[in-house]
Structure 1
Amino acid sequence: MLTLAAAHSLTHFYIAWIIIGICQPIAITLSIPVLLSNWFNQKLGTVMGISLGLSAFGGTIFNPIIADIITKFGWRGGFIAEGLLIGLILMPLAASIRPNPDEKHPAYGTTTKSESNSLLNGITLKEALHQPVFYALAFAMLALQFVSGSVQHISGHITNLGISPVLAASVVSGVMIGAAVGKISIGYFLDKLSPILVLLVYSLFGILGWSGQIFLTNSTLLTISAFILGLGQGVCLVALPYLIQKQFGEKDYSNILSVINMLGAFAMSLSVYLVGLFFDQTHSYNLGWTINVIAYILSFIAIFITLRKKA
């Protein structure tokens, strides 16, 4: 991040962002679920939702701060500020984290007999590849990360409707707040209720929210719609890592999650380009939003069928 402040060529930006793109999934989408799975035998959904939900609140807090720094010191100053935040706060905190519990620092909640004998329960990646639910979860991750990538185009969609950039920013804030609430709440409900019921409700949030972006033109209603679609993001960012752990156990959780997340990362990067391309061809983002609606429907159906078969 700090090297970007000294960038003077497009090649420099490409190299730096490739490195950031490699590191970011490890720091967020992989490490957080794996660490929490190690430390929480109970209430995993709740703590996973809280930890991932706080990232959305962090974006709400730091986005205007970084924007103000850029206004005062330029974009190079913004990269320096972000680099310092990572170096002075995140790296020391990461170094202080214990990756696994021990006798002195036990995991939260009761353990099974196999766990108490230091034998991790679950199956390996090779074994998971023979189960239909693996491919259902992988498809859901791919489809819903495509949805997540398209969120970057919401501000463009709002301004394309003739709404001011200031109001467009409020719509984007609606997404971020909705995502924070969605992540925290879906984690709690996954611990309390049937996963299928929770997935149905939050998938409906995604369907309704993105449908609102297609049909609504009023800024207030669009903000409400954005909040609702933000709630639906909890499926991809919390429910899927949670279900992967519950379906396949801890034995090879990090490897299974990394393979499925790799597909999601590919879909997210592709969606940013494709949704922009759709807009260039049709002068509307509605095709991209329609794909998002379909993604939620098909993802829920795939998981519903395979989870029922497993049961």
Structure 2
Amino acid sequence: MSTADTPTPGGVDSAYAWLRLGLSMFLATIGGVGMWSVIVVLPSVEAEFGVDRAEASLPYTATMIGFALGNLLIGRFVDRYGVTAPLAIASAALGSGFLLASQAQSLLVFAILQGVLIGFGSAATFGPLLADVSHWFAKRRGLAMAATASGNYFAGAIWPLVLQAVMQDHGWRGAYLFVGTVCLCVLIPVAFLLRRPPPHMMTRGQAQPVREPPPARQIAMSPRVLQGLLVIAGLGCCVAMSMPQVHIVAYCVDLGYGVARGAEMLSLMLAGGIASRLISGVLADRIGGVPTLLIGAVLQCLALLLYIPYDGLASLYLVSLIFGLSQGGIVSSYAIVVREYMPAREAGQRVGLVITATIVGMALGGWMSGWIYDLTASYQAAFLNGIAWNMLNIAVICLVLWRTRTPRPALA
């Protein structure tokens, strides 16, 4: 093995890098509850506050807006100050948000707390962590970033079942009290285990900036244009993605299967998403982020089509698993694409901007699907709407792939 291939002790591709990856996955799993909890309590909130489906979807939309802004703003601070302080502050906001939301006496107050504290706080455990982990890996960067992103899906697979169990005895308010306590007691201490600055800011043992390596891939368009296209693609794919993820529980309630069956389908969907993200990370290390992204987008579109003819209980379990296996790697692939084409020193803000676009898409799609349901009394048109947005996503990705130049040969 050459000197260039030898991992720096405590640096890129080192044992410490893998330990840091494990901690990041754990943080993402706990903090990811902020994105999924409101989906599980949506039917209970709708019933308690006496609102229609579109209004009941507004807290989720507020959560996604806060999550989007958090990814953008916290990412900028991570580029400048490292991940620990922003993560600790955001974790405090997340836990406090759940405690306060458990006492909300109106849908408006509940929605505000979901957006300002829960959504914003949860964001620190997604895009900013992805950007931070990307600095610690070279050979397995795609896998590392996908694994970190999988923490969000671990949260989606685990937390709905936990919340459902707590809600049976203590209602949605008791479940929110429980989650808030867990976040405050766990996230803040673990955040301080990530104090070491990323390798691109330091030389071996010296507090001096190092020479930044060039991006791995080149494209025949400016960074601003590429960033804009990724924003459009992220918006389109996640409007489509939000239909099953946001409304699967409510969809099951409408079909007479109940909240518990819907929560199980959501968990199954996100469990499939974990496998999809890990496979996509390995694939991205081999063929690149953009081709991997295109594969995921096409498979997601095909999976959405399956929801239209099949609404039996067994069929929905199967289709939800297929959907999870199809779309799980899409969002993490956007972050991988940014790191392949953009400078390392801008990773936090650029990853944050693309993740923001995907979350805006989730927020828009979550509300739009509820609105379409209220107009048509059916989710069939909402699925067709998602497919149309997915086609826009595919078209943009094809353009980026077409303008990508041949990658530089790897160094010996």
Q: Quick check: TM above 0.5?
A: yes
Structure 1 equivalent of residue 279 of structure 2: 185
With 166-175 and 252-261 compared, the bigger mean Cα shift is at: 166-175
CA distance in 1, matches of 2:278, 2:100: 35
For the structure 1 residues 29 and 144, does the alpha-carbon distance in structure 2 shift closer, same or farther, using more than 3 Å as the test?
A: farther
1:114-153 correspondence to structure 2 within 5 Å: 117-119=210-212, 121=214, 131-150=224-243, 151-153=245-247
Q: Cα deviations across residues 223-280 of structure 1 (Å, max 9, x unaligned)?
A: 2221121123334321111111111131312222222333333222222211011011
Distance, in Å, in 1 between the alignment partners of 2:368 and 2:222 is 29
Structure 2: distance between partners of 1:288 and 1:275:
5
The sequence identity of aligned pairs, in percent, is 20
* Matched residue type, 1:263: A
Question: Structure 1 CA distance, aligned partners of 2:292 and 2:396?
Answer: 15
Aligned to 2:334: 240
Structure 2 residue 384 is matched with structure 1 residue 286: no
1:142-178 deviation line (CA, Å, top 9, x unaligned) = 1122233322112233343454555444432331122
Do the aligned residues in 1 keep the contact of 2:298 with 2:394 (CA within 8 Å)?
no
2:356, 2:397 → 1: CA distance? 19
- Give the superposition deviation at 1:29: 3.1
Measured in 2, the distance between the counterparts of 1:74 and 1:195 equals 43
- Tell me the amino acid that sits aligned with residue 307 of structure 1: L
Structure-2 residue corresponding to 1:21: 119
Separation in 2, partners of 1:11, 1:60: 28
Conserved? CA contact 1:136–1:299, under 8 Å: no
The letter for the 1-side match of 2:395 is I
Give the corresponding residue for 2:300.
206
Question: Which range moved further: 56-65 or 154-163?
Answer: 154-163
Q: What one-letter code is carried by the residue in structure 2 that aligns with 1:248?
A: M
- Gapped runs of 5+ residues in structure 1? 107-114, 123-127
Cα pair distance change 1:294/1:255, threshold 3 Å: same
Find the aligned partners of 1:94 and 1:183 in 2 and give their Cα distance. Answer: 24
Written as runs of structure 1 = structure 2, the 5 A alignment for 1:78-227 is 78-98=175-195, 99-101=197-199, 102=202, 117-119=210-212, 121=214, 131-150=224-243, 151-163=245-257, 165-227=259-321
Distance (Å, rounded) in 2 between the aligned partners of 1:76 and 1:155: 18
User: Which amino acid in structure 1 is aligned with residue 398 of structure 2?
Assistant: F
- Mapped to 1, the partners of 2:318 and 2:260 lie a distance apart of 16
Contact 1:140 1:300 in 2 (8 A): yes
Aligned to 2:149: 52
Amino acid across the alignment from 1:265: I
Q: 1:157 to 1:129 in 2, by over 3 A?
A: farther
CA distance in 2, matches of 1:131, 1:14: 34
TM-score, with structure 2 as normaliser: 0.65
Note the C-alpha offset of 1:10.
4.1
Residue 7 to residue 43, structure 1, CA distance change in 2 (3 Å): same
Please tell me whether the aligned partners of residues 161 and 264 of structure 2 are also in contact (alpha carbons under 8 angstroms). no
**Corresponding position of 2:345:** 251
Aligned-pair CA distance for 1:186: 0.8
In 1: Cα distance, 2:399 partner to 2:271 partner: 31
Is the Cα–Cα contact under 8 Å of residues 161 and 263 in structure 2 kept in the other structure?
Answer: no
2:167 pairs with 70, 92, 97, which one?
70
- The alignment of Structure 1 onto Structure 2 pairs a total of residues equal to 298
Residues 280 and 54 of structure 1, relative CA distance in 2, 3 Å threshold: same
Q: Highest relative contact order (Cα 8 Å, sep 6+), 1 or 2?
A: 1
Could you tell me how far 1:129 is from its partner in structure 2? 6.4
Q: 1:173 to 1:261 in 2, by over 3 A?
A: closer
TM-aligned CA deviation for residue 35 of structure 1: 0.7
Q: Report the Cα distance in structure 2 between the residues aligned to 1:147 and 1:218, rounded to whole angstroms.
A: 22
Q: Mark the CA change 1:12 to 1:159 in structure 2 (over 3 Å): closer, same or farther.
A: closer
Over 3 Å counting, the alpha-carbon distance change for 1:70 and 1:96 in structure 2 is: same
Inter-CA distance 211–241: structure 2 relative to 1 (3 Å threshold): same
Aligned to 1:12: 109
For residues 23-45 of structure 1, give each alpha carbon's deviation from its aligned partner in whole angstroms, at most 9, with x where no partner exists.
222x1332121111121122111
Whole-angstrom distance in 2 between the partners of 1:131 and 1:179: 30
Q: Is the 8 A contact 1:206 1:229 kept in 2?
A: yes
- Which stretches in structure 2 are left out of the alignment for 5+ residues? 1-97, 216-220, 406-412
Q: With the length of structure 1 as denominator, give the TM-score of the two structures.
A: 0.84
1:267 to 356, 361, 372: 361
Cα offset, 1:305, TM superposition: 1.6
* Matches of 2:133 and 2:152, distance apart in 1: 15
- In 2, Cα distance between the equivalents of 1:86 and 1:235? 26
CA offset at residue 187 of structure 1?
1.0
**Distance between the aligned counterparts of 2:127 and 2:260, measured in 1?**
34
